[in-house]
A and B are shown apart, each in its own frame.
Chain A
Amino acid sequence: MAGGSVSECKEYLFKVLVIGELGVGKTSIIKRYVHQLFSQHYRATIGVDFALKVINWDSKTLVRLQLWDIAGQERFGNMTRVYYKEAVGAFVVFDVTRGSTFEAVSKWKHDLDSKVKLANGSPIPSVLLANKCDQKKESFNSKVLMDSFCKETGFLGWFETSAKDNINVDEAAHFLVDNILANDKGLPYEESNGDRIKLDQETVAAESKPGCC
C-alpha cells in the first residue's frame, strides 16, 4: 500500500480456472504467466492447487489472481465442486496442432457453465486460448470462424497464445481480469460471508462473544 492513500486501495481476490484437454499446455501457460518460465518437459500437475499472481492493476487496485489448474482427474472431466466453487473467470485452452482438443472445447465450456455461475446467475466470464501457436499449422481456423465460434459458445474472446515464446499470455490474462473487474463493480453480491468459519483459524471463544445480554 505504498502508493496512494490506504483507504482508497482496493484489494481483490479472484479465482480463475484453467481447463482443457490433457497436454494442451494449461500448466505451461500458468507457469509462463505466473513465474515467467517455460520448460519443454511436460509434467502432470502434482500437488498443486493453484498458482498465485499478484497484479498491481492500477494505483488504487491490487488483484490477487489464483489460477486453478485441474488435477489428476482431468482426463475424465470429473472435477469436484471444490474446484469450481466461487470461481469468477476461466480460460479454456486447446492445442492448435491437435484438432481433437479444439473439438472438446464446447464440451468443456458446457461443463463449466453447468457447474458454476456468478451470483446473478449468468455464466462466469471465459476466454478461449489457442495455445502452441508457435507450432501453428496452416489448417488452423480462420479468425472469422474463431470469432463466430466464440460468439456461439459464449466466450468473451480468444487469443492465439504460446507459452513457449511468451505470446499473448499476459494480454489474455489482462483481458479476462478486465472483464472480471467490470462484473465485480457492476454486481453487488447478495450475501456477505463474514460469519463463515475456516478451520485453520482459531476463533474467539464463545464465552467472550457478544449476544449474551
Chain B
Amino acid sequence: MAAEDLPSEFDVVILGTGLAESVAAAAFSRVGQRVLHVDRRSYYAANWASFTFNGLLNWIQQYHVNELQDWSSLLEDGEEVIYLSNPDTASIKNLQVFCFTSEEDEKEEEASSSTPTNAAEDHNINADEEAVKESSETESAGNTVTNLLVAIDCIISEHSILYNPCNSPENVPDTARVSKTGSYFYLRLMYSRGSLVDLLIKSNVSRYAEFKNVTRILTYRQGKVEQVPCSRADVFASRQLSVVEKRKLMRFLTSCMEETEEQMAYHGRPYSEFLRDQQLGDNLEHFILHSIAMVTEHTLTEEGLASTRNFLQCLGRYGNTPFLFPVYGLGEIPQCFCRMCAVFGGIYCLRHSVSCLLVDKDTNRCKAVIDSRGQRISCSHFVVEEGYVGPERKRVATPPRFISRAVLITDSSVLSSNSDQQVSLVTIPPIAAGCAAVRMVELSSSTMTCMPGTYLVHLTCQSSGSAYEDLSPLVSRIFCTPDSPDQGNTQNCPSVLWCLYFNITDGSGLETEGHDLPSNVYMCSGPDGGLSHENAIKQAEAIFSKILPDEDFCPPAPNPEDIIYDGDATASAEGEDKEGEDKEGEKENQDKLEEAVLTEETVQTATATSTLPSG
C-alpha cells in the first residue's frame, strides 16, 4: 500500500483491465513474463465491470476531464511521444437515469417523507462533444443530480430495510455480498461450450468463479412473454405446443444437427425461408429463428443452422439452457484472470494510468511508457484497451457503431413461475420494421446481483438512436412505468423502480489491422454486441501468440495443494507430511500436505454442514 515507485522495467505493460487485457495478462504472467497491469479507473474490469449500486452511482457521476501533462522532458534522443486519452469519455454517451417510487413503496416507507413520489427525474450527461451544443440543458440537469441521488439512496435504503434488516440505511456497504445490487455494462452470457468456458477450464482460472445456469429462455410476442421450449424436457413439458408441434420440433432439432443435401440447397438464401419450407408453423418458426438461432429474418441459412447447432451443442452441459451467468456478475471474470496473473507475479495498480508512450522513431517501436506519476517504465510490449487510444490513431468502422443499453431494477419477474429465482434470457424480435432485435436478461437475487425480492434487468440492442429512444418504448410495454401506454392493463406487469440508459461503443467496430501504432503496441477492443465472449478471447490469444509464438497459452495452473512451497533448491523428493522437519534444513521440501484433492464437492459439503438453515 505504500506509495513506492514501480520497478522500471517490464516485459509487458498492459493498460486497461477489460476481459481481453486481463486474459492476456494472465497468459503472459503464467509463462514467466514480467507483467505490469494498470487501469486508470478505481475498479477492475473496465467496460466489463459489475458495480454495487453505490459503485454504479459513482460511475454515473464520474466524468473526468482529461488533463494532458507535458512529459517531453523525459524523452531520450530519437523518441517521440504518443499521448493516451481517457477511455470512459470516449466510449460512453447519452447517459440517462430515471428513478420511480411506486405507490406500494410509499406504503412501506414511514419516516422518509422527503422521497419524491411518482416523480421521474431525468438527467442527461453527454460525454461527447455534442453535449456542448446543449449546454443549457446540461446545466439545468446538473441541478437535479443532487436530488436524484438522494432519491435513489432512499429507494435503496427502503429496500435494505424491507429485505435486509441488519443493514443500516445510511450504510449500504460496498461488498456485493451484502448490498447485492450489481450491474454490468453489457448484456452477456457465456455459452457453456464457448471459448471462454473452455479457457477457464483449461487454465484452472475456473477455480475462482462460480456460475448460475440461465434457467429459461423466454420470448416476447404479440404483447406477451412466453417460455421457449429448447431442451427435450422443455418440449415435452410445454403447454403452448400442440402434440403435432412437439413432434415437428423434435424432428427438426434432431435433423438439423447433421448437414443434409436439403439444407445445402438453401445456402445463400435466408434461414427464415428454409424454416418456412419446413412447414413448422408460426410458433415454431418464431422460437427457432429468434430464440434458438437468435438471428434475424435476413440471416442466411448456413449461418442460421450454425447458430442453431451451437445452441443445441451447448444445451445440457450444465443445465437446461446453453447459458451460464457468473455469480456476482460478469465483472468477476476479468478479475479471475487478474488474480491468476498476480499469483504468478504480475503487479497491479488501479487509479494508475499510462500518460504516453515513448516511441523510437527509427524502429517504430514503443521503448517505454510514462505512467501517470511521471515515472519512465521500459517495456518490450504494450497492450492497451481501445478506449485509451485517440481516434486519430485507430481504424474503426464508419459510422462508429454503438450499442444501446438499459439497466432496470424491477419488483417482479416478467413471467412468474413456481420459483422466484429464475434467471431468464428474453429474446425480443424487432417491434417494428427498422428496429433492432433486443436481448434482455433478467437476473434474480440468487446471482448475487440484486436484493431479494427485486430483479436486475439488462436490455441491449444495436443503436439506431440514443439508448432511451431505442429501448424505452419496449420498456414501457413490458414493464409498468409512468410512460406505460395503458395504466389499467399493466397491473400485472413488473414495476420499474430505477433505470439507467446509455450508449456504449461497440467493440466489434474496431478493425484488426491498419492502426497507426508502433509495431509492439497491441490494441484490445471493448465488449461487442454479441452474446458470447469469443472475440475477447481470440484477441488475447492472437496478441499472445504474436509475441510468444512458441509458448503455451494459459496452461493449467497447479492446484494449491500440489505446490512446492519454497523454491530455494530443486529437490523433488515426494514427502509425507513432515511434522518434525528441522527448521535449519535448507533442503527443499515438497510437502504434500493433503492427499485428497480439494474438490468442489468437499467445499459444498463443508458449506452444507455448517449452514443448516434454522428455518
Which residues from A are CB-within-8-Å of B346? 71-73
* A47 located at the interface, meaning its Cβ lies under 8 Å from any Cβ of chain B in the complex: yes
Q: Are A31's CB and B583's CB within 8 A?
A: no
Residue of B nearest to A68 (CB): B560
Chain B contact residues, CB within 8 Å of chain A: 1-2, 4, 29, 44, 164, 166-167, 173-178, 197, 200-201, 204, 206-213, 231-234, 236-237, 315-321, 324, 327-328, 332, 335-336, 338-339, 341-350, 352, 446, 557-558, 560-561, 563, 565-568, 578-581, 583, 586, 589, 591, 593-594, 598-614
Residue of B nearest to A31 (CB): B565
* A49 located at the interface, meaning its Cβ lies under 8 Å from any Cβ of chain B in the complex: yes
Which residues from B are CB-within-8-Å of A108? 1
Q: Are B332's CB and A81's CB within 8 A?
A: yes
Residue of B nearest to A15 (CB): B603
**Provided the pairs A11-B609, A81-B332, A115-B175 are in contact, do residues A46 and B344 lie with their beta carbons within 8 angstroms?**
yes
Q: Are B335's CB and A107's CB within 8 A?
A: no
Which residues from A are CB-within-8-Å of B348? 72-73, 76, 78, 80
* A43 located at the interface, meaning its Cβ lies under 8 Å from any Cβ of chain B in the complex: yes
* A53 located at the interface, meaning its Cβ lies under 8 Å from any Cβ of chain B in the complex: yes
User: Which residues of A173-203 are within 8 A (CB) of B?
Assistant: 184, 188-189, 191-203
Interface of B is mostly: loop
- The docked-state distance in angstroms from the alpha carbon of A51 to that of B577 is 14
Which residues from A are CB-within-8-Å of B608? 192, 194
**Contact with A82, one of B319, B336, B568, B579 (Cβ below 8 angstroms):** B336
**Contact with B332, one of A31, A52, A82, A86 (Cβ below 8 angstroms):** A82
**What are 15 A-B pairs with beta-carbon distances under 8 A?**
A21-B1, A43-B568, A46-B345, A51-B560, A73-B342, A73-B348, A76-B1, A84-B175, A115-B174, A117-B173, A120-B166, A188-B614, A199-B206, A199-B211, A207-B233
Distance between A1 CB and nearest chain B CB, rounded to angstroms: 12
9 interchain residue pairs of minimum CB distance: A212-B233, A73-B348, A13-B606, A71-B342, A77-B1, A199-B206, A206-B316, A80-B335, A198-B600
* A116 located at the interface, meaning its Cβ lies under 8 Å from any Cβ of chain B in the complex: yes
- The docked-state distance in angstroms from the alpha carbon of A53 to that of B593 is 8
Distance between A126 CB and nearest chain B CB, rounded to angstroms: 15
- The docked-state distance in angstroms from the alpha carbon of A54 to that of B577 is 11
Residue of B nearest to A120 (CB): B166
Per-position binary interface string of chain A over residues 7-40, scored 1 when its CB falls under 8 Å from any chain B CB and 0 otherwise? 0001111000000011000000001001111110
Q: Are A49's CB and B44's CB within 8 A?
A: no
* A209 located at the interface, meaning its Cβ lies under 8 Å from any Cβ of chain B in the complex: yes
Distance between A50 CB and nearest chain B CB, rounded to angstroms: 5
**Provided the pairs A36-B581, A48-B343 are in contact, do residues A197 and B213 lie with their beta carbons within 8 angstroms?**
yes
Q: Are B598's CB and A37's CB within 8 A?
A: no
Q: Are A52's CB and B598's CB within 8 A?
A: yes
**Contact with A199, one of B178, B200, B341, B557 (Cβ below 8 angstroms):** B200
Which residues from B are CB-within-8-Å of A119? 177-178
Residue of A nearest to B566 (CB): A39
Which residues from A are CB-within-8-Å of B1? 21, 75-77, 104, 107-108, 111
Q: Are B233's CB and A205's CB within 8 A?
A: no
**Contact with A211, one of B164, B174, B212, B233 (Cβ below 8 angstroms):** B233
**Provided the pairs A31-B566, A48-B563, A72-B342 are in contact, do residues A201 and B600 lie with their beta carbons within 8 angstroms?**
yes
Residue of A nearest to B613 (CB): A188
* A83 located at the interface, meaning its Cβ lies under 8 Å from any Cβ of chain B in the complex: yes
Q: Are B606's CB and A11's CB within 8 A?
A: yes
- The docked-state distance in angstroms from the alpha carbon of A191 to that of B327 is 13
**Provided the pairs A82-B339, A188-B612, A195-B212 are in contact, do residues A201 and B599 lie with their beta carbons within 8 angstroms?**
yes
- The docked-state distance in angstroms from the alpha carbon of A164 to that of B583 is 8
* A142 located at the interface, meaning its Cβ lies under 8 Å from any Cβ of chain B in the complex: no
**Contact with B201, one of A11, A188, A200, A213 (Cβ below 8 angstroms):** A200
Which residues from A are CB-within-8-Å of B349? 73, 76, 78
- The docked-state distance in angstroms from the alpha carbon of A184 to that of B318 is 31
Distance between A17 CB and nearest chain B CB, rounded to angstroms: 13
- The docked-state distance in angstroms from the alpha carbon of A35 to that of B560 is 13
- The docked-state distance in angstroms from the alpha carbon of A114 to that of B349 is 18
